[in-house]
Structure 1
Amino acid sequence: MRRVPQWHLKLVQRQGPNICVVEEVPELNRKFYTECRYWFRPKVCGYQTVLRYVCCEGYSQAPGEIGCKQEADLLNVVDTALQMGATYFVDYLAKSGLDQKLKHSKSTVTLFVPTNEAFESLTGIKREIFKTNLNSTLLYHITENRIMTTDMENEMMLTTSLQPQLIRVNKYANTQVSVNCIPVIRRDHRANNGVVHLIDGILIPPRNWPLKEISEVIAEDGRFNELIKFLNKTDVFAHLQENSMKSFTLFAPYDEAFQVMEPSLLDQLSEDLFSQQEIAKSHFIPYTICPFAITGHHKMQSLSKHNTELVCNQTGLYINDSPITDEIMLTQNGLVIVIDKVIIPQRVKTLYALIGDKRERLSKFKSVIDNCPQVAAALKSLNQSFTVFAPRNEAFSNLTTSELREIYANCEKFCFTHMVHDKVTTKEMANGQVLSSLQLPRTLECSISRRGFTVENSSIEEADIDARNGVLH
């Protein structure tokens, strides 16, 4: 949590008592109603938030007064929803006849109420489902008892009035709460017969109940045949069955995503069990992660025990460099989120592929490698491992034309001078250690100082980039 600047504290204090903050992101049409008026996000998905002050839940402002001192009377859940601006939902309740039952209910209830904007954006199949199944869809937004967000726990399943169907609650460290991956944007509005939570979408009851497991959902969908073939070569489904009480998120690429993979990588995957396992596990997060909760740059462990990057920026939402779509499927043991590209972990790629990925910094070194078929073949091979000390483009820029010609004329000698056998990470380097390069008898001396690591007086600027067949510095 960032420390709140003094200017912000003073600004909030001038607003008076019972004031809360709304953080708006106009570019994304998103709002964050915070429970603490001193807490704020500096940016959401690369956009600066705009702060607005409103009365906290249960209070109102009298004309001419500073702050919100008037305590509002408690209403029933329907009138509370209307007071929060959810006119469409209340109209649908009246149309179905549920409004009178809720107004005069002798037992407490919890309403998850969609915003008017959620109804206005409802299109296609979801709109038809809602209209055709109005009564059952509305019941899916109601649960028994007064359930405050403080009563909710991550992965909690709540029984709805559309029995026996349930909704899944998720809570995140950044204070966000969701039901079925729909964000709760205004929470805990007390009513005299329950509580109302305003949500940023409409809860559509699943067509099939009880929900099926991840493996069954993708098998029945028909668009993930290549993914299923791939997963069947690994032990991932067995792992899910062994941990049936846990929830997972599968980032599932369409069949077309496999068809556009590089042929060399497909060949590697057909023979290399390690690569198969790593790629398969990289598509699974061992808990439920809803896309809306990603508001910046986040690192989390995938099923492979390695970090996966989830990023939301001004161009979109990504897992590593794979775009995340807005299609989410609920399952008994988690979520399936559709992505447009197969996730290829860095550690599965060969040294040759990694150097190619870093073309902005290593394009000139890559050009020298491509001039030497034997070097390129070694960096692509999985039969042995190497450590490569790759010079940046700037290093080549300092050379004369004749020096560059000499490098290309003796490209094998040049490349092998920058390579040693086996993986040598900075964890294994010692000050004064001498490494034998592939270009014998040339050796490379390592040095360590407070500034970092050097090899032959050249600083290692980015260390320990793990590859399938070695490590890149």
Structure 2
Amino acid sequence: MDIASGNEDFSILVEAVVKAELVAALSGEGPLTVFAPTNAAFRNLFEALGVQGIEELSREQLTPILLYHVIGANVLSTDLSNGQKAGTLFGNDVTITFQGDHIRVNSSRVIQADISASNGTIHVIDQVLIPAGNIESFTLVNAETDEDIININDGDIIDIASLETTKLNIRANVDLVNTGSIKFELNGAKLRTENLFPYAAFSDSNGDYNEWHPETGDYTLTATPFSFKNARGVEGPVKTISFSVVNSANIVELALQNPNLSILVEAVIKAELVDALSAEGPLTVFAPTNAAFRNLFEALGVQGIEDLSREQLTPILLYHVIGANVLSTDLSNGQKAGTLFGNDIIATFQGAHIRINDSRVIQADVIASNGTVHVIDQVLIPAGNIESFTLINAETDEDIMDINDGDIINIASLETTKLNIRANVDLVNTGSVKFALNGAKLRTENKFPYAAFSDSNGDYNEWHPETTDYTLSATPFSFSNARGVEGPLKTISFTVVNNPNIVQLAQQSPNLSILVEAVIKAGLVDALSAAGPLTVFAPTDAAFHNLFEALGVQGIEDLSSEQLTPILLYHVLNGQILS
């Protein structure tokens, strides 16, 4: 210390030794070797650290730096060899290298060697030696509050469900607050280099930690300290830990942890499916994001979940659930999987992407306690099933009867010939139904009530069927205009006939109107509408006019029931007698 104190170029070194309370240690019996930085070297350090001088560095900061310049032995320059490592009183080694005639200690150059002192030797150097420090531990940090959660040790298992947040970060704790930088690697790949305390693996802004949302899985985190920023200077010992992230939350709890699945959670609650999706399982859920739900709302012309009923939501949500644990590695291209709704979904591979129907898996294999969640970018809409067909009275818009395969529809037995047919689906939010009649495309209906011959908001258009055989096919789709998922085809064949009874046949003929009037007046409608068989000789209106003239009456109104009955019955034979 006497030599340093007597040299003005070591005044800052002396000031640092005094502040660090190391005067007695460096003035002891020794032997010691000191690598003594010049004042210029210290000024370069102050500039690098962004400080004005020694007064801005604490004793705790200065002590390790100064001890890193001292070897507990007398080492002359002639004792040094190229590549030699020498332990310091700080603990970390310095490294000696030869460059031509120059000796370097780490990155500094010896500018004056072998100054003898009573207790050792001084070598003057042109840079302050900065020890890289040691990574003592890693701490899991709450990135919402910037508060410590727990220290992470090698082999630890971190259960996301036990934490207050899923917004995390990890801090490397060093034994030197002035470590120049720390280089982080995650699972063997470079993560980042942090130049400032608090050395956050996933970065920070002056201690405001950035968010890391870890997926469940195994991790290996490596941190290497350096004495200067940008991973330069002296490299300290590597610190590595391996740990696992798990989530003991069930599928619903997992969704609650993810702010991007909040609309899904809202839908599950409204559909009263919380208990079902929280059960033991195993289950696999394809979870649409909030953006996916907003796209659905726009397609349906609604504002949000509040505009959809429980009855509408339930089949949609169940169509996203498989009653088994299915990882992404279990899927194959073209694979069909049954859902709790009943209809299948289809998995396809497009390059590195997995598609479920038309949606893309954007995050796979999120493990829950009762199964697996795959996050998708579209809501899956089941196409529904065509349950039946109904014949409609297009005059009154009322149902007439269901039509089944093989039915014969007798036009004469109906109140009207103005008809339509409705396809009845098991989902009121089926996107569209495509109809074909006798093998030819008929139309695609995009709105309930899915009328084969169209309608205007439930006011059915008229179809006047000819008497013939018909085959009607209907295919449901999950979106409008026969797009999206195609549901099962429903086909029926039926025959339209016109087989009126004798009275109905007469009513259809304008030339037999007086005969009909007479039959009604005589009370013979039921008798002539019976099963028969009967044969009727039906007088024309002209024939009746001739009778009225012969009888001297004006018309049927001048004849009584008693007079008409025998005349009419005289025209009827039992049995079917053809010409």
TM-score calculated relative to the size of structure 2 = 0.36
Considering Cα pairs closer than 8 Å and 6+ residues apart, tell me whether 1 or 2 has the greater RCO: 1
TM-score calculated relative to the size of structure 1 = 0.42
Structure whose alpha-carbon radius of gyration is higher:
2
- Higher normalized strand content (fraction of residues): 2
